[in-house]
Structure 1
Amino acid sequence: MLQSSTISFLRGLKKNNNKPWFDENRSKYEAAKKDFEALVQAVIDAYAKYDLSLGGLKAKECMFRINRDVRFSKDKSPYKTNFGASINAGGKKSVKAGYYIHIEPGDSFAGGGIYMPMPPELRKVRQEIEYNPDEFKSIVESRKFKTVFGPLMEGDGMKLSRVPQGFDKDSPVAGYLMFKSYVAGTSLPDETLTEKKLVKTITDSFITLQPMIEFINRSFD
């Protein structure tokens, strides 16, 4: 579970996304960051029972910095308004599919997959899907998967308008071959963030996602 003070800090940051406010509230940030790190570590330790590759992984290896890279953005807000962590065997720098925790009041979620991989990796994933269409569909179209996550995420340029060159436009998984990212997420309402069962809620969603993660990562082996 998270402390209510962590949620309050993020709400305050969203209203006051500037360096003077952040400096004045740095102690609250440090406490919130430590709180989020404890949550991530608890999730890693709990889920490592299901994914042995996560054994020994530290939360610090998975957590993203709160500072935004504004060099190429019209939005010059200096800070992210969320805490995020990418959990897999290689930590946040891994190119493979993994799990993700996103804490942002009003828009928190747990899930994962592979986000905007480079063309060589993306081609491998698409090939794995095209070679094993029934298996992939049985994962992402299963009742449990759709109940927890719904369909794969499609927003923000994550899907092409047509099947990419070199792939069968008549394939039974043609729609999935158009994805540029393979990501699923389930919402974490604000009231769940401070519940004692938060770690279980997140790990349960990861268990449902694990077959897709393993399918994707198999394409790199």
Structure 2
Amino acid sequence: MNARVEHTDVGAYALGLLEDDDRLAFEEHLSLCPACREELTELSGVAIALTGMGPVEEDPPPSHQGEGEVIDLLRRKRAADRRTRRGTFVIGVAAAVTLVAGGLAIGTQLGSGDPGAVIAGEHASHLGPAEQFYADGTPINGTGVGGVTGGLVLESKAWGTHAALKLSGIKGPLECELVAVSKSGERKSMTGWSVPPSGYGVPGAPEPALFMHGGSPWQIDQIDKFEVTTSTGKTLLTVDI
């Protein structure tokens, strides 16, 4: 995955907020990442609901209850992040969209002009989709090497198996992928990503763990194990099922 592309960019892409170079880089990543494609499908309804609510202003007027609260959240994030660095705004907006999609229920009249339209769910989750799915499930712990720890939460789908990965104790820079290994020994990549030099869950890392979605066309009973491997062929984590 391109170093400037993050999985959290899917929210900003859904709203059309990425600049041209970031949009092209993300579209290239999107063609290779089934997890981001699935998340983009889930967020498309949110993007449609927010369409027509007006541009994001630096100094917004007072908002009304409901959809205005969402727009104010995006506006405040933009204003704050402009004072830090350019890239942070995109990630912040993506996080706000994820909050709306994952933790808030948008009323069916949102954007219709109905004064009764509201946003429900005061106690919205602050977790991203992959992290929320992992937190809600029953993790299967894996066996790592060199201080790496992690596990998977699995879900059967009509199309195969959906997995949420948690990975910690890993230093970069690395290119990794989550691989499903069938009972017959066949291997299929479920998703891939890059680990920045700061890593995840190690001293100095900004995040305690990496959370990632992945998908396999095989059903769970066809799979023997999952592996997190590097581009050099090293296995960092094995999850037997």
**Fold conserved between structures, TM > 0.5:** no
Q: Which has the higher helix share?
A: 1
> Rg: which structure is higher?
2
Calculate the TM-score normalised by the size of structure 2: 0.25
Calculate the TM-score normalised by the size of structure 1: 0.27
Q: Which has the higher strand share?
A: 2
